[in-house]
Amino acid sequence: MSNIITSLVPFSKCSAKPILVTNLGKSSTSSTIFAPNDNNYIINNTGVHRYENVINYNYENCKPILNIETKIFPDTTNQLNYYFIFDCPGKDAIGHWVYESFMFFSLYSELKKQHPMLQILTPNKKKYVKLLLRFFDLDDNIIYMIDNTQKNICFFPPIISKNILTDNVLFKKYIDIYANSIKNRLVILPQKNKYLFLPRNTFDNYDANDRTIPVTDEIRKNIVEKGGTVLNSFELNNLTFQYNIVNNSDIIIVDYGGSFVFNCIFLENKKIILLHNDNLNFYLSFQANKILFDYINERNNLVFVNFEPTSYISFEHNIQIHLD
């Protein structure tokens, strides 16, 4: 007999007390896991989620909830696959995928020592995924789907949702680990770059979060005239090159969204001009975003410049002040 187990515990409690059991049939079991303390396996003093013979899973959209379906395989099935799942409630939005999932890559690296056949599995096919894996010298032979005809052991990292953050301590700890892991791979370039503009990437964005910065052309022209650099990140296929250019610049102009937390989390002693609109206050009302902003701001000089059309008259004046 197999069961469906659903924990109806409020997010703030994050405990697992199955209180609803329903008969499903003979061959599969479904479990709902609440984040992040509802774990069953410890690695590097961090709880992760280890499940055998997973045939399907899904994260509830923007909620720290993971649903897993497992299957009972016949004893004649001998092959055993090992998967580490990089996926998250925020789907493939870059700021969500990195800080809800990939920032735990050190747990994968540790598990890989124990299970050499461990493979990375992610449904995310965005370009930045492969770039990050190459940057950290991880296996970029990505598996996009569980082979549910074979036995498996799946490891899921701590379940984090930036929309509903349930463990500030864990979140801050792994932000710091992730940022330092990037810094340790950077080099000092022989020549400094004064100004750097990172235009908003319009090719690899999460569609629901896409927006246009109306002053992009003006900033690009201004930076080039000042002898600075305009870095169109989507046109690069080398994150080491990209991060070293960013780290080698004194003043960075960047949009307030995913590009900011993707490209600036490792910076120290820089002036970062953050382009934003009137949505910034709402964005920072989410505790996870506020923690990421504070982490970067504590280590740099963060300057906020509104690019909305209503602020356009003051925009050029403000940005000129901060570029000088």
The pLDDT score that the predictor gives to residue 196 is: 96
159 and 228, same domain (yes or no):
no
172 and 300, same domain (yes or no):
no
CATH number for position 223: 3.40.50
**287-301: pLDDT as tens digits:** 999 999 999 999 999
- Report which of 87, 44, 94, 78 is spatially closest to residue 207, judged by C-alpha positions: 94
The contacts of residue 207 (CB under 8 Å, 6+ apart) are none
156 and 226, same domain (yes or no):
no
159 and 199, same domain (yes or no):
no
- Single out the residue in 133, 153, 181 at which a domain terminates: 181
For every residue of 196-260, DSSP letters joined together read EEEPPPSSSS-GGG----TTHHHHHHHHHHTT-EE--GGG---HHHHHHHHHTEEEEEEESSHHH
172 and 190, same domain (yes or no):
no
108 and 135, same domain (yes or no):
yes
Three-state secondary structure call for residue 48: strand
The pLDDT score that the predictor gives to residue 210 is: 61
The pLDDT score that the predictor gives to residue 39 is: 81
Structural domains counted in the chain? 2
User: Are 57 and 66 contacting, i.e. CB atoms less than 8 angstroms apart?
Assistant: yes
Three-state secondary structure call for residue 296: helix
Give the pair of three-digit tokens for residue 235: 């046109």
Strand 229-230 with 118-121, pairing: unpaired
86 and 122, same domain (yes or no):
yes
29 and 150, same domain (yes or no):
yes
- C-alpha span between 235 and 215 (Å, rounded): 20
Containing domain of residue 10, as a range?
Answer: 2-181
- C-alpha span between 85 and 294 (Å, rounded): 28
- Single out the residue in 137, 158, 181 at which a domain terminates: 181
**137-174: pLDDT as tens digits:** 997 679 999 998 999 999 999 999 999 999 999 999 99
Three-state secondary structure call for residue 184: coil
146 and 201, same domain (yes or no):
no
129 and 240, same domain (yes or no):
no
- Single out the residue in 163, 181, 199 at which a domain terminates: 181
Give pLDDT tens digits along the chain (324 positions): 333 333 222 232 233 322 222 233 446 777 777 665 678 899 999 999 999 999 999 999 999 999 999 999 888 777 899 999 999 999 899 999 999 999 999 999 999 999 999 999 999 999 999 999 999 999 767 999 999 899 999 999 999 999 999 999 999 999 999 999 999 999 988 888 999 999 887 666 555 556 677 778 888 888 998 899 999 988 889 999 999 999 999 999 999 888 999 999 999 999 999 998 878 899 999 999 999 999 999 999 999 988 765 544 445 555 565 666
210 and 315, same domain (yes or no):
yes
What DSSP element (H or E) covers 205? Answer: none
User: Are 204 and 126 contacting, i.e. CB atoms less than 8 angstroms apart?
Assistant: yes
15 and 162, same domain (yes or no):
yes
